[in-house]
Each structure stands twice: as structure tokens, then as C-alpha cells.
Structure 1
Amino acid sequence: MLLEVAALPGLPGVYRYFDAHGGVLYVGKARDLKRRVSSYFQKDHGGTRIGLMVSRIVRMETTVVRSEAEALLLENNLIKALNPKFNILFRDDKSYPYLKITGARGPDSGLVPQAQRFPRVAYYRGAVDRKHRYFGPYPSAWAVKETIQLIQKVFRLRTCEDTVFNNRSRPCLLYQIRRCSGPCVGLVSNEDYARDVRDAERFLLGEQQQVVDELQSQMMAHAEMLEFERAAELRNRIAALAKVQHQQSVDESSLSSTGKDVDILAVKVAGGRACVNLAMVRGGRHLGDRAFFPTHVEEAIALAADEATAEVVEAAADDTEAGSAPVEPLELLTAEQQVLQAFMAQHYLGTAPPPLLVLSHPVQRTLLQALSTQAGIKLNALHQPREQRRIWLDMAIKGGELALARLLAEEGSQRERTRALVDALDLAVDNLELFRVECFDISHTAGEATQASCVVYEDHKMQNSLYRRFNIEGITGGDDYAAMRQVLTRRYEKLAALVAEGPLPPDAKTRLPDLVLVDGGRGQVAMAREVFQSLGLDLSLIAGVEKGEGRKVGLEELVFADGREKLTLAPDSAALMLVAQIRDEAHRFAITGMRAKRASVRTGGSKLEDIPGVGPKKRAKLLQRFGGVRGVAQAGVDDLVTVEGISRDLAEEIYRALH
């Protein structure tokens, strides 16, 4: 390792440390790779977190880049991709929702001809394109839907799908309650609808007052022409917009043209956890906030402090080599600044930032320059705002404090439950964060569509990404014991073979659980014992969750496979609460999978839309004739040919596809 370090160049770059199992320990950046990496190995870090990490390093990789900005962007790309154990990591696997106006290319471009003469407003999540007009992103689906409801009320744009729009013969209920202008049946002209689309876009872009002024002019014009009903409609629209403006309490005179799209970022660190609360303002409207909770905070802060110290030393060395006076010692970044910078670097890699960021803490100029270069815009940041932006920041700070307090309370409760279960079962667990429970449940309807579920509890929470479903086949319908035998064998057969070859690494995703729960009593436990005995696994891992007296909730008992006495926990026991939580989640997961499979089985796993030769008209006739897809699936070939347009060959094709 020391020879590798000595061979490193004195150039900007990114380095990665790996452990003996190939796991990524840390990803860091440096303006001088050789000087930075060597600092880890040239001194004794003792029993600190840095020393712990260095003791586990067996391999490293480096990448040379052209500048610090490139190093910063590459570092955070790798952090998101590799999930290192000693970096602050923000997990956000959900894309942000947008509001979409179909076929609209801008407030002054008019309408897309023919195919979309009347654009629709819709909720959208995914990659944006140039065919439509997108507004956002929004912090939540609720914020998008609330805005769509406002647009329906004020501008009366359609929300129906094109297939519905093209086949309407009379206006729908939304027209009756004045939430749509009825373009599907010609109740609004192209020109009037185009004007409403442009007004909606201007409203979303922050030109609320200009839109209100124009609506007032239109209202007065209709009133002068004695068209009082049209004037009253416009009055109601103006009132709805005025209500929104009042709720937002935004003084537009205090906002510049670039200040109407703003992200407000507030960070709070406490109790070993951190929260970054992101509030979004688009078009001058506060759309709500969203809290993010990073992992590896304590480890990363300790390492970042060392890295910041090293950067000060590097800067001083650079200045000394250049012949200038030594630099003054720079102030190390606070924990809040480190968390905030990590969030900004990772979050804005996949989401374009607005031109203005309002921050609760200052960040380094290098980060802003790198994000500006990547986004192709001039990115400005304020951490001591005034007027309206101060109000927004105070709201975000308070929201972040409340979200973090709620998280710490929930985690404290879950940690207590984990500890209570470990103590109640007298398990030898060194690290509660690694304590893992897998729970199995069988679900079917009178033997039909049998499915087994496996849910995982680890790190004091349910790990949805590790859930698994198993289709149970080759057994007698309703034989839960045979189903349990099959699912346990399939789940642990390969793991048992790996264990036989040697101990698995403690952090492997495929490691054996510390406890296996099965939903059932002595019969299910006996079946699990047979499977574990045949695989050579420890029987003490197995516990059955048996219904108590009268099968009442809260009176469950634990039955063990290794011969221990049945364990009855108090109804208010934290351990029993955790067992019930895991068991109920396994039951829910099994039920939803079984219902989906049952529906698939009953319809042959196919839809009418997938059958060649069955177009919209024939599909509609089939559904009308048999009352739905299930009725079509139950019909015979002779029944299908009675439908107009269905030949015997096509009827046979439909029957084959649905059976």
C-alpha cells in the first residue's frame, strides 16, 4: 500500500478505499492526491473512527481529474453509486413530480395543431422532454395535485386522457361543476382555450398579478356588455387567485425576476442524526418542503474534519512553495456545513438547481462553482436573507427541527423495541444495528394463488428493498405446511451452502438472520425445524408466532424449534409490539402479492389490449357483453363468437390468451 501511495501524482483527483470483502469504505477528493492519501498512512490515528477505517483498508483506487470542481462532482457521483460506509449519504430513490401541460411549448407559441388542439394539465413523474411544458419540480405529489385543482378552478383546463377526450359525446361532471370548459364537445373556442392555457402558464411562472389584472379587464368588459354571467365567472376566478396570493403572503416587489424560483435549504444536526429540509418556491409560490435524513453522519463528520485539516495543510504548503506568506489557519467546516454541502453535491447531480439557493449555513465557493458549471447557469447562494426569503428560511429551519425531533423519537422507540426483543429471547447480539429478523407468511384463497412472503427487519426498521415473494407451486392447494417447507428451503438452501464453505462477512446482504419468525404455531415451527435440520442450520434461530387464547391480538406466544418452553410476553411488552409489527408486515406483503397473483390467474395473466386483432371497438363490445375482463375470461369460444366482429379464429385466440 505504501508503494502505491508513493507512486501517486501530485494532481487533483478522487480516491476510493476498499475493505477485504470488496466493500467501499470511503470516497474522497484532493487537490494533491499524493499528499492527501499519504496523510492517512503516515501517522497513528489510534482508536478513532479514522483509525478504524484505515485498519480495514486493503486496496485503493484513484482517478486523476483536471480541477477541484471536477474532483468534487466525480466524488459525489461515486458516493451515490458506491454507497461507501464512511461518507455522508443521502438516499433519494424517488424522482420529483412535475405538473405537465401537454403540447404547450410556451406562453406565446400557441397550441400544437390537430393532435392536441386542447392541451391537458396532468401530474407527471419521470424524465422531461421537449414535446410538452413542465413546471416544477414539486416536493410532493400532494403539492402537484393541489396546483392542478387550482388550475381547474381558475382556468378550467381539461385533465382527462386523450382517449377519453376523443370519444366524448357530452360534457363530463367536471364541466357541470365548473372545473372544465368542455373543449371535448366544442363548448369553448380554440382561441379562448388557448388564452386560458397561456394564463395558466403565466400563473405557474409567477406572473400572478399580471394574470389577475387581465382577468379584471375581461370582467369589466363583459359587465359593460351586460354579459353578467360571464363577468361573474371571471369574478370567481379572480377571487380564487386572490385567495392563493393571500395564503402565500408574498410581496412580489421584494422578489427579483430570478428570485421567483428558489430552493431553501435548512440543516439541523442532533443526536447523531441530521436532517436537511428542502423547501421549494416556484413562480413565487411556496410549494411545501421535504425532509432528507442522511446516513453515516458520525463517521463522515469525523473523517471530514481530518480531511479539512489536511486541505488547510495542503493550501499552506502550496502557498509556501509559491514563495508567498503562509496562510492563516482556516476555520474547519461545522457538522451542519458538511451535511449541507454533501446534500447539495449529491442532490443537484440529478436535479437542476434554480438560480437562487437560500441556505441556513454558508458553503464553500468551490461547490457553487462546480454546480454552476454542471447546470450551465449562474448559481447564487444566500445564507443571511431578508424580507420574504427570511420568512421562507425560518419556516424551513423550524420544519427541519420538527422533522428531526420526530425521527429521533421514532428511532428511539424502535431501538427500545429491538433491545427488548433481544433481551426477551436472550440472544447474543453485539451490534443492535445489525440485528436482523426475517419473517415468513403464507397466503392463498381456498388454495388458489398460493404465495409466501419474506420481510426483513434490520437497523431498527423494515427494509422494503430486501422483501421477497415466492410463488408456491407443486403442492396440494391449501397445504400451508408444504408451502412453508418450500419457501424456507428456497430461501436458505444456497445460504446454507455458503455457510458450510466458511463464515460469511458480517455486513453481507446475503447473511443469515439472527431470528427467523414464521407466522404459525407448533405445526409451522415443526416444518421449519425439519428444513433447518436438513440444511444443517442452527435451530435456535426459529420462532413461531402463535395466536394466544381466543386468537386475540396482543396475546400471541412464541414457539421455539430447539425445544425451549413457549414464551408468553406481556401485552404491553415492547418486544411483543415489535414481533407483532414484523408479523403484520409479512401478512400484508403476502396478502397483496396473493391478490395480484389471483387476479392474474383468473384473467390468464393477460389483458385484452395485448391480444392481436382486438382493437378498442372490439374490446369495448367484449367488455360490455360479458361485464368485464373476468367475464370475458370465463366465456367459451361459442360465447365469444356471438359478439359482433369476433370471428371463430379470433375467439379461439382470445380464449387461448386468457387461459
Structure 2
Amino acid sequence: MSSNTQFNAEDFLKNLTHQPGVYRMFSAEGEVIYVGKAKDLRKRVTSYFRKNVDSVKTQALVKQIANMEVTVTNSEAEALILENSFIKTHMPRYNVLLRDDKSYPYIFISAHEHPRIAYHRGTRREKGEYFGPFPNGSAVRESLRLLQKLFPVRQCDDSYYRARSRPCLQHQLKRCLAPCVDLPTENEYAEQVQLVKLFLRGKNNEVIETLVAAMEQASENLDFERAGMLRDQIAALRQVQERNAVSGSQHELDAVGLYRNSGFTCVHLLSIRQNSVQGSRSYYPKVPAHTSDAEVLESFLIQYYLNQQHGQRVPAEIIVPEQLENKAALNEQLSLALERRVKLIQPKRGERQQYLALATKNAMNAVESKLGLQSTMHIRFQALQKFLQRDVAIDRMECFDISHTMGEETVASCVVFDQDGPKKSDYRRFNIKGITGGDDYAAMAQALERRYKHAVERENVPDLLLIDGGKGQLSQAEAYFQDWPHPPILLGVAKGESRRPGLETLIFGFSRNTVHLPADDPALHLIQHIRDESHRFAITGHRQRRAKVRKTSTLEEIPAVGNKRRQNLLKYLGGLQQVKSASIEQLANVPGISRALAETIYYALRDE
């Protein structure tokens, strides 16, 4: 699908920051197709949309872009690390030319009979497992020192290991099991190596559970020396569980940043998993006037983390700004509601504070972008006001459109815009009944009657009413409003002969004066925006109604969904409607439902 119709690069670039960061390009299906980093985000992203781009790869990439997102970082170096993390997570198909990570340090566990843990930088030739990359060498060395205190696995070179005839000092300090002289059994050493790997993957709780089980087994076998050693190891692990464990990054936490300006509020959430930023997202809660920062934060935390979609993966730590009040009470409420320990932290210094600052920085960038978009909307409104030659401000605009397939399941849509853009809470659809199939004029008349029957008493009469269509559709609005003392301005929007944007004919109601605005006129852009949104809303409603009428698929008729699986689907998702509206991922999380079966159920319950 071409980006010419899906992605407005000009608008996106207008409000893009000059700060360093990472950008993600999405296809029309929502797939991440490219991830890049930049010292200056606006300059770098702008280079993709120049008129003359030599690279064939870049030309192909740009044609696929339907959306873009950015995550701001503090430096280009941070952007490089984050870029690597996103590429590993999403594996974008256009990132084939990126260099490898050989300039970054890793923690390496060899594939020897008695594996060793080591610092590694460069080409990964030796067999074994590599954990990383990490931001710098000092972070890896600090991590190796920590691992040596927690897990008695050798960190010596192979030449030193082969030359030993008796245990070294590390064994005396209880920092190595001395496999060089065959003191531990194969199983004992392999068990510690496996625990190191789990720890490096961020699975601290699993490590402790394994050690607890081993300690209890040793006690039952009256092996009190081994039980005591495992007890000490568990205690050491618990002491560092809340600390920086491996790479200078926390294993698992969320950082929540808040920024408010000029009526806009953004809460930005950074998700840190397995020692790196795995994702970030901005949220724009609807905030009543005079609401405090503390109330905004508290409402967001409760609604976000108690949502079923997120409840299964809430981290043990959530980093929050200092504006949050009643932290202890909220901490207890979340822990009880989620049935697991959740700790809200307001850091003053250190790595957690850096994550908080980064989340806040991204929230600030998101609000500034929103303000830029609002400015664009205001410019277009001013242009429309000038075009209509109205002294009174236009605060509310509505647009109607009709959608059907050969007269079947007709739906009329009404979308609403104010000076801040779409007001989706006021959108309405009308299922048209009792008319001859395909009679758009009768459908328009019915929709107008149903929408404006009580509009005056409810005080929601628009200042401007747009009708998507020519004089025939416009005449229905004229007939309905002809006896009103103060009707809205009526404006028909008829497509040009080639139906290309920019060639629309605007027809004023009652006077029937026609106007053609220049294709680059901001007033026309606003009219096109509203008209297109009305068309999209009508088409979506019509397809949903048609699918509902035509659909015959039920859970009973889907292959491989027997009685037990059907009961699980209804039980875990809450009912048939929830099953029908569930995503493939939500279906696959139900016990007994594989990914392939989830896809089968998903498409069987939809109009394909």
C-alpha cells in the first residue's frame, strides 16, 4: 500500500524534534518494517522523503510506510543501543544492511565440558552463548564481579584451567566450584551454569525457586553442608534482586513520565525488559480542567495496570515522577488488585532516575508534536472562517455520508470536528431502514431527521454542516432545515470529474453558489479531512453491519473447537462477544488454543 495515501510525511516532519533518538517505520498492517537511529531525528527522517532519492532500497521502503513513531534519547550513543534492541525485538525486513554488534561487549558462556563465563568483544567465533550487547565494558566487568559472588562458576582462562592441580583462591573464597580438579559432580556444575543463564535472561525469580527446591531436597537428604551453601546463595540473590543485575540496565521495570502544556497531557511509558528498552508509547488521557498532576498519574496507573491486556505482564518495579502523592496507599492497592508485589519508586538519582528523565523527555516531545498539529488545525479553521466570511467563530462542524453495497445494509455516518480536530465521542452512525435499496436521497433525509430532531434542545446544532455528495443530497438538507430560523451553514462537497482530491466543487445550500478552492488551500484541506473521515466511518459501519447479517460462523461450526475448548474460550474471555472481538494474541493465550487455531477462530468469526 503506498505511503502517498497512508502517510502524510509533510505533517509528520513539521512537528518532528531535532533531538537524537530512534525512529520506527510501520506498514499498513502495523508491522515494523524499518528501525533507524539519528543524531537529529528531523534531518535524518527528512532525507527519506526528498524528491530525488538514489537508493532503490529507500524508494521501496518509503512506498511501504503507513505510519512512523519516534523515541527520543539523551544521546546518539543511547539511540544506537535502543536501535539494536528494537531491531532484535521486531526484526524489520528492511534492516538487512545494518552492521553487526561486534563493537559492543558481551558476557560469554562457553560450550566447554565445564563452561566458563567471560568478557567478550569482537567477532563471535567461539561456540557458546552470548548475552548482550551492553553499553560499555565497565558495565560488563561489574556484572562479572557480581556473577562471581552469586554463582560459583569459573571465570579463568582455559590455559589456567588446564594447568591446575589443586583448587585456586577463588575456590577458597567460595566463588568457584573448582571443576578443574573435579571437585563438583557434573550435575552440580551444570546446574550452576544453567542458573547463570537464567539470571542473565532476567529470570531472577525462577533462579530463586530452583535454589529453594534444591535446598529443601538437600535438607531431606541430610546434606546440611550443601543446604547451607544454597541458603547463602539464595540470601545473596535476594539482596541484589532489586538492584542493577547485569548490564547497567534493570532487568524488568516500567518508567512513567508526565508532561502537560497548553491543555495537552501526555503520559509516556518506557518498558525495560531483559536489560534493555523493549518499547515505548505515549498516552493522551482526557483530563478535566483543574486536575492535579497527582490525580492524572494515579488515574493512569490504575487504569493501565488493571486493564486485562496488561495484567499478565506487570513488572515488579514501576518508576514514577515525584508529583505522585499517596504512593504507599496506591502501591498497596495495585499489589492487592494484581495479586503480586508491585513497587512504585520515585528515584532521586542513579539509573532509575535516568530512565524516568528519559520517559519525561519523550512525554515532552509528544506534547510539543501535538501542539504543532493543533496549530495546523487552527490555521485551517481560520482559513475556513475566512472562506465562509463569518464573523462568528465556527466551533462545531459535522459531515454526513451514506454507505451501502448495491442497496444492502445502508448506513449513514455523522462525524464531528471542533477547532482541536475530530471529536470522536460525538460521532454517530444510523442504520437506515424502511427505504428502497440504493435510494441515497431517502437515506440522507432519514439520517438528518434522526440526528437533528432534538438538536436544538440539546444545544448541539453545528455551525457548519457538510454533505458528501452533489445537489441531490444537498437538497435533502435544504428541505429539512428550510423552516429553521437559524439553520447551520449547508455546504455540499461534490467530487470532481476524475474524483481526484483538489478538484472538489463546493455548493452552498439555498443559494446554490458553487466554488472551487485551490488545491493547496488550508480551508479545502480541512473540508477534505472531514469528508474523508466521514466516508471512513460510514464504510466501517456498513461493513460491520453487513458482516453481522451475513455471518453464519459460530464456535460450534469451527473445526477443532470442541466442547472443552469452547468452554475455555468463553470462560477466559468472558463470553461470546468477547471471543468475537478478541485479537489473535488474546485467543492464543487461552489454555488449549494454539497460535494456528487462534488464527482459524479469528478469521472464522469475521467477514472475510
Q: How high is the TM-score relative to the length of structure 2?
A: 0.48
Q: How high is the TM-score relative to the length of structure 1?
A: 0.45
